[in-house]
Amino acid sequence: TCSLLFSKAGKTSFTVLSTKTPPTRRNFCRMSSSPLPVAAVCQMTATPDKEANFFVCKNLVEEAKQRGASMVFLPEGFDYIGSNQEETLSLSESLGEETVSRFTDMARKLEVWLSLGGFHERGPNWKTDRRIYNSHIIINDKGDIVTVYRKAHLFDVELLEKGVSLKESASTIPGPSLIAPVQTPIGKVGLGICYDLRFPELSLALQRQGAEILTYPSAFTVATGIAHWEILLRARAIETQCFVLAAAQVGPHHSKRSSYGHALAVDPWGEVLGDCGGEQPGLIMVEINLEKLENTRKNMPVQEHRRNTDFYHSLEKTK
Measured from the Cβ of residue 161, the count of other Cβ atoms closer than 10 Å reads: 7
Q: What is the C-alpha to C-alpha distance for residues 251 and 269, in angstroms, rounded to an integer? A: 29
Residues 6+ apart with CB under 8 A from 304: none
Per residue in 278-314, pLDDT (tens digit) is 999 999 999 999 999 999 999 999 999 999 888 988 8
- Tell me, what's the pLDDT at 273? 97
- Tell me, what's the pLDDT at 157? 78
Per residue in 155-164, pLDDT (tens digit) is 887 787 777 7
Overall average pLDDT of the 111-137 stretch? 97
Identify the burial level of 253 via C-beta atoms within 10 angstroms of its C-beta, where 0-12 means exposed, 13-18 middle and 19 or more buried: buried
Per residue in 88-119, pLDDT (tens digit) is 999 999 999 999 999 999 999 999 999 999 99
Active-site residue 194, yes or no? yes
Active-site residue 276, yes or no? no
Active-site residue 76, yes or no? yes
Q: What is the C-alpha to C-alpha distance for residues 47 and 309, in angstroms, rounded to an integer? A: 44
- Which pairing describes strands 272-275 and 156-159: parallel, antiparallel, or unpaired? unpaired
Task: Between 7 and 121, name the one with better pLDDT.
Answer: 121
Q: What is the C-alpha to C-alpha distance for residues 134 and 314, in angstroms, rounded to an integer? A: 35
Measured from the Cβ of residue 276, the count of other Cβ atoms closer than 10 Å reads: 28
CATH fold of 12-318: Nitrilase/N-carbamoyl-D-aminoacid amidohydrolase (3.60.110)
Catalytic residue among 42, 57, 194, 276: 194
Q: Where is 282: in which H helix or E strand?
A: strand 282-287
Per residue in 206-256, pLDDT (tens digit) is 999 999 999 999 999 999 999 999 999 999 999 999 999 999 999 999 998
Sign of CA dihedral 115, 120, 126, 127: negative
Q: Where are the domains of the chain?
A: 12-318
* Verdict on whether the full-model pTM lies above 0.85: yes
27 confidence band (pLDDT: 50, 70, 90): very low
34 confidence band (pLDDT: 50, 70, 90): low
Catalytic residue among 63, 65, 76, 188: 76
Q: What is the C-alpha to C-alpha distance for residues 38 and 113, in angstroms, rounded to an integer? A: 11
Mean pLDDT computed over every residue of the chain: 89
Q: What is the C-alpha to C-alpha distance for residues 76 and 241, in angstroms, rounded to an integer? A: 24
- Tell me, what's the pLDDT at 319? 60
Q: Is the pLDDT of residue 22 over 50?
A: no
- Tell me, what's the pLDDT at 158? 76
Catalytic residue among 151, 212, 242, 287: 151
- Tell me, what's the pLDDT at 318? 67
Percentage of residues in the chain having pLDDT higher than 70: 89
